[in-house]
Each structure stands twice: as C-alpha cells, then as structure tokens.
Chain A
Amino acid sequence: MGAVQNFFDHYNYIATIVLMVAGLYIVIARGNMIKKLIGLMLFQTSVYLLYIAPGKIIGGTPPVLDPNFTVYSNPLPHVLILTAIVVGVATIALGLAIVSRIHEAYGTIEEDEIFAREEQE
C-alpha cells in the first residue's frame, strides 16, 4: 500500500524522470542527427515539467488578488519556464540549421557515415 501511495504522490516526478531518461537515451543511442535533436528536445521538455508541476497547488487559483480566494499557485516557475522554452526553441532551431548545412556539405546526416568519410580523407 505504501509503495502505491508513494507512486501516486510523486507521479509527476516519475513522468518527468521517464521523459528525461528517454530523451537522454535517444541522444546517446541514435546516430541520426535529427533524431538526436528530437531526443534533446524531449530531454529539455522534461525539465519544464520538473519546474511547472510543483508550482501547481491543488485547489490553488492563478495569482490574481481576489477576496474570495486565499490559495494561489506559484507563478514564478511558469515565468522561468517561458524563458527556458524560448532558449530551447533557439537551440533546436540552430541545431536544425547546422544539420541542414551538414547535409549540404556531406550529403548525409548519419553520424557514422560522416565519421567514415573523415577516416577516408
């Protein structure tokens, strides 16, 4: 019973960790440069969840002052993650731009093929 209780008390963290590890695994295990970026995106997204989920308080309202409400959710994590999302978008955009340049220069986006070509030279 304790284990089940523990699981449901922390299920947002468990979801975060599953996404995090899955993303990191894709980055490490895949040789395709686009797939690696997808993994990276998943990894970054999991961090958004890490910040946002604890900011929500059950029964809490958005932090707009009103005499009818006394419990508010924490708005700071949302603001932080808004910044992090912008950073994430910029990173992925730059990553994709570099991959398309790599495709122009090498004719492939598979890492092992690129390294094989470097070996030949």
Chain B
Amino acid sequence: MSAITAQLPGLQVVVPLLGAIIAAFMRRGTLAWAWATLITAFTPIIAFALLFQVWSNGPISYHMGGWPPPIGIEYRVDLLNAFVLVLVSLVSTIMMPYARRSVAHEIDGDKQAWFYAMYLLCLAGLLGIAITGDAFNAFVFLEISSLSTYVMIAMGRDRRALVASYQYLILGTIGATFYVIGVGLLYLVTGSLNFADIAARLGEASAAFPRPVLAGLAFLFVGISLKLALFPLHLWLPNAYAYAPSFATAFLAATATKVAVYLFLRIAFSIYGVALDLKALPVSTVLYPLSIAAMFIASILAVYEQNLKRMLAYSSVAQIGYITLGIALMNQAGLTGGIVHLFNHALIKGALFLALGAVMYRAGTVKLDDLGGIGRTMPLTFAAFVLAGMSLMGVPGTAGFISKYYLIVGALDAGKWPVAFLIVASSLIALLYIGRAVEVAYFRPVSKAVAHAKDPPLMMLVPMLALTFASVYFGIDTELSAGVASRIAELLIGGLK
C-alpha cells in the first residue's frame, strides 16, 4: 500500500496519459466513454489522497525517475497544487456521466473515441501543469493540454468551430512560446529550471542581471495571460467556447483557464515573490486596470450577445477579471477571494455550460430569440441555469457571494474603496445578462424550437444538478473552499520576501 502511496504524484498524470492512448485505439464511442469515465474517476481519488497528505504532513516532493532535483524533474505538491488538482479532477469526474449522450449527439460515431482520447490527454496535461515543479515540464504539459484542446474545439458541428480552433491555435502557441522565452531568460540567468531552485537563485541573479529577470517576468506574464484569457488577450475565448462541442466547452470553462491562473500564481508568488519584492514589481500595476476592464467590458459585451454560449464565454472573461483582481490586491483577504473564486467559478460555469449543453441536446440551438418559454418546457434545466446564474451574480447564500465578499474585504483592507464599489457595480451587469435569459425563458410564449423539448435524460441531469447544488452549497459551507483558500493565501503571502 505504501509503495503505491509514494507513487501517487506520478500516477496522477500517468493514469490519464496512458488512458488516453488506450482510448485512441477503441472504435466504439460508448466503450471509449466508459473507459474515459473509469480513468477520470481515478484522478480525484489520487488528488484527495494527496490533499490529505499535504494537509497533515506538509509538501510532498516526488522525484521523477528517481533523479533528485534540481537535476531531475520534481513533482512538488503543496496545498495550492493539491487544491487545484482536486478541483480539476473532481469537476471532470462529475461531468463525465453527462458526456455520453451529449457527445453522441454532437460528434459522429467514428470520431467519438478520438474525442475521449483528446479529453483524457487534455486532462493529463492540465493535471501535469498543476503538479510539476519544473518550468520546462510545465511548458510541455501546457502544450499537451493546448493541442488536445484545439482538436476538441475543431470537432464542433459548426464549420466556424474550425476557424475558432485555428485562431486559438495561433494565439495559444504565441502564448506558450512567450512562456518558453520567459523560462529561457530565467534559465540563462539562474541555470536552473526547477521552480524552487530558480527562486533560491533569482535574488542573486537579479542583482547581476536585472534586465533579463524583468524581461522574463514580462514574457511569462503575457504568455500565461494569453492562456488564462486576461482582457484584452481573451479574443480566442468567445468563439472557441461558442462553437466547441457542449461537453468540451463545459470541461474547458471549468478547468483550463483555472490551471493557467494556478501557473500564474506559482510564477508570481513562488518564484518572483520569494526572490524579489513582488509589490515593487509591476505586477499589480498592470493587473488592476486589466482586471477591472475585464469585469466591465466583457460583462457589457455579454449583455449584447445573442448566442447564449458566447454570452457565458464573455462572462467567463469577466469572472477571470475578478480572480486576477484578487491576485492584484496581494493581501490576505483579496488573495483568498481570488483563489476561492477560482474554485467557485469552476463549479458555476460548469453548471451553466452543462445546462446550455442540455438545451443544445433537446432544442438544437442556443440562440436567445429561439428559446422563448424554454423555462416551462425544460423546467429542471432552467432552474439549474437560474440558480447557478444567481451564484454567478453573487447573491447572498450562494458560492459567488463568498468570493465577492472576500474580494471586497480585500479591496477595503488595501484601502481601495473605489475597487470595492466597482466589484459591486460590475456584479449588477451580471444581473442584466442572466436576467435577460430568464426573461426569455419564463415570460415569453413557447417558441417553435422548444415546443417539444423536455428535460434531458437522468445521466445528463444529475451532473448538471450536482454542480448547481455545489455552486449554492459552497455559499453556506465554506470549509473546503474558503477555508483551504485562506490557508493557501496565508502560505503564499507568508512566503513573500
């Protein structure tokens, strides 16, 4: 037993990676789905085991291939990693039962097994980014997850999915290349690729070569911002989310951008923050205006959007603004707010996109004008949409409220009351776009497209309702979300120089 426990960090990535290869050899979609579900279900077990181990005994260092760091690749799990691993693996596992019908409906039979292979590959990449302690290894996993994401997006029914995938490929590759340039500059001045080792050597290197160190930060910042869709580098996101298969959209919205945010936190707080004075570096100065711009401009774009999937995609850009705002605040409450919103937003957006996937499954469209009266023909689906939407706005008693509460406290602690005001004001815009969907769904006569629609089968309904329940439940019981997030924020801020 203990032999397996010692190998858990490696297995976290190896299981889905090998699972993907085997899935690629399958011919029948249903079989591939069952296999992918089984593999996915293993990942949260490993992630929870790691979280408990880290919670009680402190960080785990796993030496890949038995080579000690900094020469070998180290998988280093601390509370922040373990939290992200749990989030990604758990949300994917909840979503998997949903995938079968939705994927069978939107993707041709002979391509379904490929889709699941790509999904598992993407999962392996995301978990890999979250677990590795090596900067170059993180790049490789970043590309594994990105390349499989491009394929998943391109599998969408609409031909516009191809263009969306191409655009994401161009921007995503530029982002990843910027990340490698940043890592390369750090490698040139420190001679190391291990996160902890770079952090230990960076102070000295920065005194000798201040310019490459700062340029490296700029490249890493821009590269990762492209991946996490920080405004105005979000241009790839709305089309990619709108035209990808419904399941892929829900999976990516809940996990991919969150892992990129994690990488950002790791670089900013565990490398630059440990070695140099993070508050003196131009991180907050750049993040503040961009975050606030994201919160407002992306929200307003969402209000004018006719396609509901695109509307939620713009909303995602806005919500990422809240997360980065929490990072920019750089104090205990603000950072807690950012991290807890990373968790809550994954649940909320997962639930919302699953609900839209169900609408797509039954009504075949997500254009707002075609969906009149859908709240009456698909009552459970739209109840989930409304509840998760309320959580998105931050109604008290829901998970979204908890994130915004911490963010506002963080803004007030930093002495920035206008920021606190802007957080509230931008939440009201969310009321507008969710409210518009509610108005169409409940107060318009039933339109032709939705007349024969009804709630989706149980296998789709349960994951959707589970995520909706979670996005309300974590507004009442905040032990796992805000409790852990606040401890992570404490560790990150305590580690700062």
A interface with B by C-beta (< 8 Å): 20, 24, 27, 33, 36-37, 40, 43-44, 47, 50-51, 54, 77, 80, 83-84, 87, 90-91, 94-95, 98-99, 101-102, 105-106, 114, 118
Contacts and interface: CB of A to CB of B under 8 A. Distances in A.
Label chain A's interface by main secondary structure.
Answer: helix
A87 B184 CA distance: 16
Contacts of B174: 24, 27, 40, 43
Q: Is the contact region of chain B dominated by helix, strand, or loop, or is it mixed?
A: helix
20 contacts: A24-B174, A27-B174, A36-B170, A40-B170, A40-B174, A44-B177, A51-B187, A77-B187, A80-B193, A83-B136, A83-B140, A90-B143, A94-B169, A95-B173, A98-B150, A99-B166, A101-B154, A102-B163, A105-B159, A106-B159
A54 B105 CA distance: 53
Chain B interface size, under 10 / 10 to 19 / 20 to 34 / 35 or more: 20 to 34
B154 A54 contact: no
Given A24-B174, A91-B169, A84 B180 contact: yes
A90 B147 contact: yes
B181 interface: yes
Residue among A47, A83, A98, A114 with the most chain B CB within 10 A? A98
Given A27-B170, A95-B169, A105-B159, A43 B150 contact: no
Interface of B: 136, 139-140, 143, 147, 150-151, 154, 159-160, 162-163, 165-166, 169-170, 173-174, 177, 180-181, 184, 187-188, 193
B160 A40 contact: no
B117 to A, nearest CB: 14
Given A27-B174, A43-B174, A87-B143, A98 B181 contact: no
A98 B177 contact: no
Contact of A50 (B150, B160, B163, B181): B181
B496 to A, nearest CB: 29
A33 to B, nearest CB: 6
Nearest to A87: B143
Nearest to B143: A87
Contact of B177 (A33, A37, A43): A43
Nearest to B172: A91
Contacts of B173: 40, 44, 91, 95
B26 to A, nearest CB: 21
A40 B180 CA distance: 14
Ranked nearest first, the 5 interchain pairs of A and B with the lowest CB-CB distance are A105-B159, A87-B143, A102-B162, A98-B166, A50-B184
A84 B166 CA distance: 20
Given A40-B173, A51-B184, A83-B136, 5 more contacts: A40-B170, A91-B147, A94-B147, A95-B169, A98-B169
A27 B159 CA distance: 22
Contacts of A99: 166
A98 B150 CA distance: 9
Contacts of B177: 43-44, 47
A54 to B, nearest CB: 6
A24 to B, nearest CB: 7
A102 B150 CA distance: 14
Contacts of B163: 102, 114
A80 B136 contact: yes
A17 to B, nearest CB: 10
